[in-house]
Amino acid sequence: MAMPFELPDRAAGVKLDWRNGKMIGAAVQESRKQLKDLAGIFDDEAQRKQADPETTVYQVQWWEPAAPGSEGGLFWGVTTIFPGRVGEEYFMTHGHFHANRTRAEYYGTVQGEGLLVLMDENRHTWSERMVPGSLHYIDGRNAHRAVNTGDAPLIFWACWPTDAGYDYATIREQGFGARVLSVNGKPAFVAHHAENL
């Protein structure tokens, strides 16, 4: 009989807590967006400036096991959007198109409630409800932004191709075709007509 040997474990040691979405491990990267990083993203810029600039709107943890820009790989990340509003507008992610419009993405909700706002290149904008367990397939042509409409953190994982890239500029300059505002205490979709379009 062949001699037994220790089972090789070459995994990168990244772990995911499925109950709260948290990622753990030396290879995990982290970033956060505070109100001071989101100039021009919310409708009510005066309210944004009045609030504490250090307020964290959302944080992202992610793992890049392959080189960004290389073909055929996948990244994994977890976003936590904290509850809050700027004026009547709920805390949300910046939002982006993928630089490569042929690269799709999955989002899956872990905790909390919100809306995934999607917009095609003709500025047609719609949303999908995010609730624990909801799975969202994002076509590579569509801009995407998550909005926390609840009073607890909205946590969702994402999986996207290594060569998707980010086009933040289009959203920074033109926004989405609609905003999610609290109207009479309830989330409502309000058309947004960007200037100079």
Q: Show Cβ contacts of residue 191 under 8 Å, excluding neighbours closer than 6 positions.
A: 177, 178
Question: Which residue lies nearer to ligand PA5 by CB, 91 or 160?
Answer: 160
Question: Measured from the CB of residue 75, what is the shortest distance to ligand PA5 in angstroms?
Answer: 7
- Give strand ranges (E) for the chain: 15-16, 23-24, 29-34, 56-63, 74-81, 85-86, 89-90, 105-111, 114-119, 125-130, 135-138, 143-148, 154-161, 178-183, 186-191
Question: Measured from the CB of residue 183, what is the shortest distance to ligand PA5 in angstroms?
Answer: 24
x/- letters, 80..119, toward Mn ion (CB under 5 A): -------------------------x--------------
Question: Measured from the CB of residue 13, what is the shortest distance to Mn ion in angstroms?
Answer: 25
Could you list the residues that contact ligand PA5 (CB under 6 A)?
60, 77, 79, 93-96, 105, 144, 146, 158, 160
Question: Measured from the CB of residue 45, what is the shortest distance to ligand PA5 in angstroms?
Answer: 18
The binder of 76, among Mn ion, ligand PA5, none, by C-beta within 5 to 8 A per type, is none
Question: Which residue lies nearer to Mn ion by CB, 48 or 136?
Answer: 136
Contact of 158 with 78, CB cutoff 8 Å: yes
Residue 129, SS3?
strand
**Size of the residue set binding Mn ion (CB under 5 A):** 1
Both structure tokens of 51: 């609030």
Q: 114 forms bridges with which residues in the sheet? A: 130, 148
